[in-house]
């Protein structure tokens, strides 16, 4: 009896991964490899390093392509990973393919940065166990609210997004439109502004398909005022500033327009390079996410799920509002928001 008690005590302190006879391999799959998502890789690696017996596998397609992302997920399933966090590129395709296979094989799936959209025609809780990332609608609202502070009487607007089928980006577009119009929309991305509370979108958003050079040229056309003219530009992602050299070269001829607020520039994300450009008055507002924390919380959440601990189904990582006046301090002391505490079953 004493020997049995000793064995039970010893067993109870052995890490879960050792009980399984292997280290836990937890994967983070971005939409594509970029400056933004590389920060989630760092968070993933740092979190795994703090948990004995856990390995972070960060792997994504080189470009934003749902079929390539689907292949990556299938590869990870074939390699026997214990859980996967996915930044959803295209909901419907992934649900019908690799994520369906993951569910059938019992591989835990969570989403990060970009969650499922309405195209799946079912409750996302049936497909993923948690979401970690920005509250994308609220991010969009913040972009709109900050623009309103600089243009209180309204104006003309052109927005830039990545893909027309991107779930998180469409929520941001709807958030911007809600903030500017004061309206509630039934579904993302909302409706094109047409003299709503003084705001008009002069065209549909530019879609750059995550091509940085294309995003810079699109932004340049707004600053140039050709072929269409607007006095405000919002990018719901950080694309044009992700190549600092290209951005600086493009924007230099238009510095006077920026200084005189003839064109207001509001851009998402706050990498160190972006904050340097903000401090140089190469934009008016940057609203940042926290991709590092997304990657870190993704691994912590997957580990709790796999080891059958309590976990949070929704974790909203913080956003930060940065201006040329506070660019040195704006990303400090941000607060993580956790919702819907549940027990894994």
Q: Decide: 295 and 42 in contact? Cβ < 8 Å.
A: yes
What is the distance between the alpha carbons of residues 77 and 126, in angstroms, rounded to a whole number? 19
Q: Can 18-134+291-318+334-342 and 136-288 be said to share one CATH topology?
A: yes
Lowest model confidence (mean pLDDT) among 125-129, 178-182, 254-258: 125-129
Q: Decide: 19 and 32 in contact? Cβ < 8 Å.
A: no
- Strands (E) located in 113-175: 131-133, 155-161
- Evaluate if residue 229 carries a pLDDT over 60: yes
Task: Name the pLDDT band for 197 (thresholds 50, 70, 90).
Answer: very high
* Distance from the Cα of residue 81 to its chain's centroid: 23
84/340: higher pLDDT: 84
Q: Decide: 149 and 331 in contact? Cβ < 8 Å.
A: no
- Evaluate if residue 33 carries a pLDDT over 80: yes
pLDDT averaged over every residue in the chain: 91
CATH topology of domain 18-134+291-318+334-342: Rossmann fold (3.40.50)
For the chain, the structural domain boundaries read 18-134+291-318+334-342, 136-288
Task: Name the pLDDT band for 122 (thresholds 50, 70, 90).
Answer: confident
What is the distance between the alpha carbons of residues 28 and 195, in angstroms, rounded to a whole number? 42
Task: Name the pLDDT band for 207 (thresholds 50, 70, 90).
Answer: very high
Residue-level pLDDT at 35: 86
On the CB side of 100, CA atoms within 13 Å amount to 8
Q: Quick one: tokens of 234? A: 């919002």
Backbone angles phi, psi at 321, to 5 degrees: -105, 120
Q: 74-93: per-residue pLDDT in tens?
A: 999 999 999 999 999 999 99
Q: pTM score > 0.85 for this model?
A: no
Q: What percent of the chain has pLDDT over 90?
A: 83
Residue-level pLDDT at 4: 35
Q: 136-288 has which CATH code?
A: 3.40.50.2300
Residue-level pLDDT at 344: 44
């Amino acid at each position: 009896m004493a020997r049995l008690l000793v064995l039970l005590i010893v067993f109870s302190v052995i890490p879960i991964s050792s009980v399984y006879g292997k280290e836990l391999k937890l994967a983070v799959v971005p939409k594509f490899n970029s400056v933004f998502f590389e920060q989630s890789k760092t968070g993933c690696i740092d979190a795994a390093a703090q948990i004995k017996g856990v390995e972070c596998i960060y792997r994504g397609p080189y470009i934003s392509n749902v079929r390539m992302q689907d292949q990556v997920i299938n590869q990870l399933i074939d390699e026997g990973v214990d859980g996967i966090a996915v930044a959803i590129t295209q909901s419907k395709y992934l649900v019908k393919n690799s994520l369906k296979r993951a569910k059938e094989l019992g591989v835990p799936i969570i989403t990060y940065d970009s969650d499922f959209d309405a195209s799946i025609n079912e409750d996302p809780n049936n497909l993923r166990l948690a979401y970690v990332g920005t509250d994308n609608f609220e991010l969009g609202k913040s972009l709109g609210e900050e623009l309103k502070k600089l243009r209180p009487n309204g104006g003309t607007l052109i927005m830039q997004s990545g893909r027309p089928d991107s779930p998180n980006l469409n929520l941001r577009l709807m958030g911007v439109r809600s903030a500017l119009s004061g309206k509630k929309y039934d579904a993302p991305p909302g409706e094109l502004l047409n003299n709503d509370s003084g705001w008009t979108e002069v065209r549909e958003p530019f879609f750059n398909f995550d091509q940085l050079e294309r995003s810079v040229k699109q932004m340049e056309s707004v600053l140039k005022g050709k072929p269409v003219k607007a006095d405000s530009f919002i990018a719901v992602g950080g694309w044009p500033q992700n190549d600092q050299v290209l951005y600086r070269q493009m924007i230099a001829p238009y510095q006077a327009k920026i200084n005189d607020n003839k064109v207001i520039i509001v851009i998402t994300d706050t990498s160190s390079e972006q904050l340097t450009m903000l401090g140089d008055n190469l934009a008016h507002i940057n609203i940042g996410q926290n991709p590092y924390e997304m990657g870190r919380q993704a691994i912590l959440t997957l580990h709790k799920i796999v080891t059958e601990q309590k976990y949070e189904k929704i974790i909203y990582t913080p956003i930060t509002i940065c201006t040329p006046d506070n660019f040195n301090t704006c990303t400090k002391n941000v607060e993580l928001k956790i919702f819907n505490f549940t027990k894994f079953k």
